[in-house]
Amino acid sequence: MNVLTRESALTLRHGASLIHAQIRNADGTPLRARVNGKCQTWVTRPNEWRLPCKHGLKQCFDITQDNAFYWFAQS
């Protein structure tokens, strides 16, 4: 498993699974999240990107270049 990068985030499709490196579920398994949309990039800011994700039924969040080192793409 490799750390999530901009290039790998661009290849992820809706419904792909990601796992967190540190946070655990109540049963001890790693926290899982699903990709909830398309990775957004900007021409004027080439180092920035945003990947919308979802955990559970309603908790939505974004993975960005600032917190991507905590996430791994599940194979």
pLDDT of residue 39: 95
- Given a cut of 90, is residue 3 above it in pLDDT? no
pLDDT of residue 42: 96
Q: Rounded to the nearest 5 degrees, what angle is found at the Cα of 48, between the Cα atoms of 30 and 12?
A: 45
Q: For residues 41 and 52, what is the distance between their CA atoms, to the nearest angstrom?
A: 12
pLDDT digits (tens, 9 = 90+) for 20-61: 999 999 999 999 999 999 999 999 999 999 999 999 999 999
- Given a cut of 70, is residue 75 above it in pLDDT? no
The domain limits of the chain are 6-73
2 falls in which pLDDT band (50, 70, 90)?
confident
CB 65 within 8 A of CB 49: yes
**Which residue, chain included where needed, has tokens 């949309």?**
37
CATH number of 6-73: 2.30.30
